[in-house]
Structure 1
Amino acid sequence: MNSESLVKPCSYDPSFKVDIRSHEPLWCCAMTSSDVLVEMSALLSQLESICRKENEPSSQVSQQTGGKRKRHYSNTFQNHGMVLIERMTNLLQKTMSPVPTLLEYLESNSCAILFPRAVLYVKNPTAKHTPIKRAPMDGYFSQATALNQLISLCHQLQHDVTTMTNHKYIAHQIALLYQSINQLGNPKVLLDHRTSIETTFKKIKAELEKEGEKAPCLNSELIFWLQNLTSSLVQSVKTLSAELTSQMRPAMKYILQSTT
């Protein structure tokens, strides 16, 4: 025997629809054309990065394909890519009127020069594009990461050597600092700092490995040396010399020319 339903669902009312705004800024303000271009470049750089990763051949060689490497396209990549395109499209609403299409805007600002993979994806998100071996932005993030790591280690050492009473791990941190310098190649602006670490590191190790010391601590002379070293390194990085930013220059030049 069938009984009456306890609850009768109401028909859907579109006015109750909730728009998802998880990718929108918390604080909205008026944007100039230069602001839009900078924000667009940030979104394109994200898309360029994931396109490069997705289109790179797999490191594993498949025997079934005669030794050729296979590419694997993931749903996560497609979802992420479409979200970025949607954010770019919404960003264009803050530009001139009439609002250009996304491709029109990218072509008028020569974005394909700096972000070739991203622009190809925008043109046809479902196509499997031929991998681009080299693009202007390829070295940007690695160099920016190395510079940021160097500054972060300097600040950490400055804090630890003055506030901590146990300098047990200072030598290890200095070794990491030395490796960070080496990651940037051989720029002349950092050569003196690297040489200074090489000539002083043994003294640091000897001071911290004295027998009977439960809480080893650097003497005042070595603390003074470390403070000077880290302060000088930070100042050298902040100059953003051509030697330290060679791989970042294309993006810096593009933004400067486009926003002036």
Structure 2
Amino acid sequence: MAVSTTVPLCQPCGYHEAFRVELQVKRPLMPVHLSPEQVGLEMLCLCGQLDLLVRAQMQQFQEQLGQGCSPEESDTFQAQGSEILDQMLQCLEHLPKPMPQLEDYLDMVGLSVMFPRVEVFLIQGSPVDMLERPPMDEYFFHIAKLNQLLVLSQQLEEDIRHLGSHKYIAHQLSLVLSSFRGIQAFSEIKKDIEANFKQMKQSLL
């Protein structure tokens, strides 16, 4: 049986590059204006992210060398590093014109001193380890210790309010004590806890 045909209603046009739309997946839908102070804060956060990313890649380099392999950047590092750099450039667009170069801005606000790995990465285009530990390494370690102490203290406070699991309180308190190491501000509190630890442990038996 023959199939009936009709004349097409219209002829589709060929694709023209003038109709191409550039995807902006990482940009906000609504325009956002940042003040210079907000730009500085955002750049501080992005430098911290990029610094941690470079440190993780350097650790991977060491593992590759230990296995007898040539160091090679991971696809994840390249993708995340490019994304962070793009976000940095987007932040600079909020500054008064003329927009400074990224390296010049980091020098101007002191971020290159705080994050030398980031500065070297921008110059070299690849992660490079530092001969001396940057000061921000100690800062991140200190913040991590404080966060650990906060979480343990909150859990201990919650268990004290509900003494159904009181047999674990002594163990949790010992974890809190271990978190005090290296934090000079809590040295006196640590001494008080150590002086009364045995008595407290006996009262919970």
TM bucket, shorter chain: 0.7 to 0.9
1:132 is matched with which residue? 130
1:219 is matched with which residue? none
User: CA deviation digits over 1:143-186, x for unaligned, max 9?
Assistant: 0010122122222222221134331221121111011112x25x
User: CA deviation digits over 1:43-76, x for unaligned, max 9?
Assistant: 01111122123224525764858xxxx6442111
Question: Are residues 25 and 165 of structure 1, via their aligned partners in 2, closer, same or farther at CA, if it must alter by over 3 Å?
Answer: farther
Q: Distance in 2 between matches of 1:63 and 1:163?
A: 50
2:113 is matched with which residue? 113
What is the TM-score normalised by the length of structure 1? 0.63
Q: Distance in 1 between matches of 2:29 and 2:159?
A: 35
Matched, 1:45 2:41: no
Q: Distance in 2 between matches of 1:49 and 1:63?
A: 23
**Structure 2 residues without counterparts, runs of 5 or longer:** 1-11
Give percent identity, aligned residues only: 29
Q: Distance in 1 between matches of 2:170 and 2:55?
A: 37
Question: Are residues 114 and 181 of structure 1, via their aligned partners in 2, closer, same or farther at CA, if it must alter by over 3 Å?
Answer: same
1:3 is matched with which residue? none
The equivalences for 1:69-108 within 5 A come to: 71-108=71-108
1:20 is matched with which residue? 25
The equivalences for 1:166-177 within 5 A come to: 166-177=165-176
Helix, strand or coil for the counterpart of 1:169? helix
Size of the aligned set, in residue pairs, is 190
Question: Are residues 147 and 26 of structure 1, via their aligned partners in 2, closer, same or farther at CA, if it must alter by over 3 Å?
Answer: farther
Is the 1:58–1:72 contact (alpha carbons within 8 Å) kept by the matching residues of 2? no
Is the 1:48–1:118 contact (alpha carbons within 8 Å) kept by the matching residues of 2? yes
Which structure would you say has the larger RCO, counting Cα contacts within 8 Å and 6 or more residues apart?
A: 1
Matched, 1:206 2:202: yes
Q: Distance in 2 between matches of 1:159 and 1:27?
A: 42
Q: Distance in 1 between matches of 2:64 and 2:106?
A: 35
Helix, strand or coil for the counterpart of 1:157? helix
User: CA deviation digits over 1:66-109, x for unaligned, max 9?
Assistant: xxxx6442111111111110000011111111222222322333
Is the 2:114–2:135 contact (alpha carbons within 8 Å) kept by the matching residues of 1? yes
Query: Which amino acid in 1 is paired with 2:189?
Result: H
**Structure 1 residues without counterparts, runs of 5 or longer:** 1-7, 210-260
What is the TM-score normalised by the length of structure 2? 0.77
